[in-house]
Amino acid sequence: MVPVLELQDVSFSYQTATGAVPAVDTLSLTIRHGEFVSIVGPSGCGKSTVLRLMAGFLRPQAGAVVDQGTLVTAPDWRRGLVFQQPELYPWLTVEGNVAFGPRMRGLTNAERRDRVQHYLELVQLWDFRHKRPYELSGGMQQRVALARALVNEPHILLMDEPFGALDALTREHMQDELHSIHERTGCTAVLVTHSVEEAVYLSSRCVALTHRPAQIRADIPINLSSSLSKNAGREIKACPEFVSLRETVMDHIWD
């Protein structure tokens, strides 16, 4: 099966007034259908740069980013994006924000209505569809951002610290919600996160990067036993199997 997304020996440097800043160095990574891959690493190591390369916002100076066999040269709605700040359109309602992409793509009114309802229900915001972003909490706004990405039914969802601006309790709640959305939709996802616990909880694979310029330091499969993954988030995170995996990933970041 063709991989959903592939980084092939990708290198990228930012060009600044004081010279080139190498951020990614000959990095290769393959994301397969249905995987949930987390990217962790020290601050400033190049995680966001890797995600922007995957999205097509940046073009590598060497190597290639390939989306289902096609070279990535620009952003595309088929790669859904969620950032740390929800960045919603403040003049549009919740419904208007989620409908924006499908409208731009020319979906019919009926198709658009059905999809928007489906994804707003998925993030439990259908009852808030007539509100404007400023009337919502941070967690709710981030759920709108998630619905706005999912409504296009992207073949890959790219997220950069999507819960980084939330308080600890809301963050845990959002992790549970993302976990259940992933189980229900089976979407392929890449998550950049500072939280190793979040990475182990949500992913099927965790990729640890080196200090800048980013290279892959470790690629760790996260296979929690199936009996464990039936438990709720709080319980899983306290299990010895979970704690041991978290420590393994942590060792790759701190050594």
Ligand X SMILES: Nc1ncnc2c1ncn2[C@@H]1O[C@H](COP(=O)(O)OP(=O)(O)OP(=O)(O)O)[C@@H](O)[C@H]1O
Among 11, 38, 49, 175, binds ligand X (CB under 6 A): 49
CB of 22 to Mg ion, least distance (A): 16
49 forms part of the interface with Mg ion (CB under 5 A): no
Length of the chain equals 255
- Which residue's entry shows tokens 């707003």? 120
- The interface partner of residue 89, options being Mg ion, ligand X, none and the CB cut-off 5 to 8 Å by kind, is none
CA distance 233 to 13: 38
Q: Considering only CA atoms, which of 55, 40, 46 is closest in space to residue 12?
A: 46
Q: Total residues contacting ligand X (rule CB under 6 A)?
A: 13
Q: Taken in order 108, 136, 193, 224, is the CA torsion positive or negative?
A: negative
Among 5, 7, 23, 140, binds ligand X (CB under 6 A): 23
Q: Considering only CA atoms, which of 151, 158, 155, 198 is closest in space to residue 177?
A: 198
48 forms part of the interface with Mg ion (CB under 5 A): yes
The overall longest dimension of the chain from CA atoms, in Å, is 54
**By CB under 6 A, which span of 26-34, 47-55, 118-126, 134-142 interacts with ligand X?**
47-55
Specify the residue, 45 or 136, whose C-beta has the smaller distance to ligand X: 45
DSSP 8-state class, residue 134: G
CA distance 153 to 135: 26
How many other CB atoms are found less than 10 A from the CB of residue 106? Answer: 8
- Helix (H, G, I), strand (E, B), or coil: what is residue 17? coil
Specify the residue, 101 or 162, whose C-beta has the smaller distance to ligand X: 162
Among 9, 14, 241, 244, binds ligand X (CB under 6 A): 14
CB of 43 to ligand X, least distance (A): 4
CA distance 40 to 219: 10
Range 106-165, binding ligand X (CB under 6 A)? none
CB of 173 to ligand X, least distance (A): 23
18 forms part of the interface with ligand X (CB under 6 A): no
Specify the residue, 38 or 49, whose C-beta has the smaller distance to ligand X: 49
Is 36:202 a contact under the CB 8 Å cutoff?
yes
CB of 65 to Mg ion, least distance (A): 18
Q: Which residues bind ligand X (CB under 6 A)?
A: 14, 16, 21, 23, 41, 43-49, 212
